[in-house]
Structure 1
Amino acid sequence: MRKLVLLSLIVASPLAVAGPQCTTAERSQWQDQKAFQEQLKSQGYEISKFKVTDGNCYEIYGFDKDKRKVEIYHDPVSGKAVKTEIKG
């Protein structure tokens, strides 16, 4: 029984840290990645890392206009921030 509980915790643990699901839209409807990043930079963001997540989000790591460290998940169709974490 303990092995079963331990195994279920190990299997479920990656799901606990997974990011949000941002869209189910076809990629042809998504904003261009480079143009999207340029738009954020023009708003004062500094992007250290940019990636597309398994949840179909544009995820950025970097700094906002106030120089706070941030991790933000964006809907790649609308550009809207779906989840924002201010790290400091």
Structure 2
Amino acid sequence: MKTMNVRLAAAVALIALPFAAHATGSCTTEPKTKWMQDKEVSSQLEKQGYQVKRVKTEGSCYEVYALDKKGNHHEMVVNPVDGKPVSEEVNE
């Protein structure tokens, strides 16, 4: 029984891990003076083939809503200092 609970807890942790930054709103501890502008984040993602619809500040992260080349909707939590996605949810 104890082994099953440990396995269940581990599975839940693995599923929840990508969304931890979103849930806590913690992507960076850097001050906003070191953050990329939202336009820079949009431009960086557009160079990767996304059509960015919206960028908003959410805690110490940027939350980006975009479409890929196939028209799939992406909701990304992005580190505002380097512009790299921390987590991503895709809705086809």
TM-score, with length taken from structure 1: 0.69
Q: 2:8 aligns to what?
A: none
- The answer on whether the counterparts of 1:20 and 1:83 sit within 8 Å (CA) in structure 2 is no
**Unaligned stretches of 5+ residues in structure 1:** 1-16
Selected match of 1:43 from 48, 52, 55? 48
Matched, 1:64 2:68: yes
Matches of 2:24 and 2:91, distance apart in 1? 16
Deviation at 1:33, TM superposition (A): 1.7
Q: Which residue, out of 32, 39, 58, partners 1:53?
A: 58
Counterpart for residue 7 of structure 2: none
TM-score under structure 2 length normalisation? 0.67
RMSD: 1.8
Aligned equivalent of 2:15: none
Once the two structures are superposed, residues 4-47 of structure 1 have per-residue CA deviations (whole angstroms, 9 ceiling, x without a partner) of xxxxxxxxxxxxx8364111110111112212211211211111
The DSSP-based 3-state class of the residue aligned with 1:40 is: helix
How do residues 8-87 of structure 1 correspond to structure 2 at under 5 angstroms?
18=23, 20-54=25-59, 56-87=60-91
Code of the aligned partner of 1:59: E
CA distance in 2, matches of 1:86, 1:53: 19
Tell me which moved more, 70-79 or 35-44. 35-44
Equivalent pairs counted in the alignment come to 71
Identity %: 35
Contact 1:52–1:59 (8 Å) recurs in 2: yes
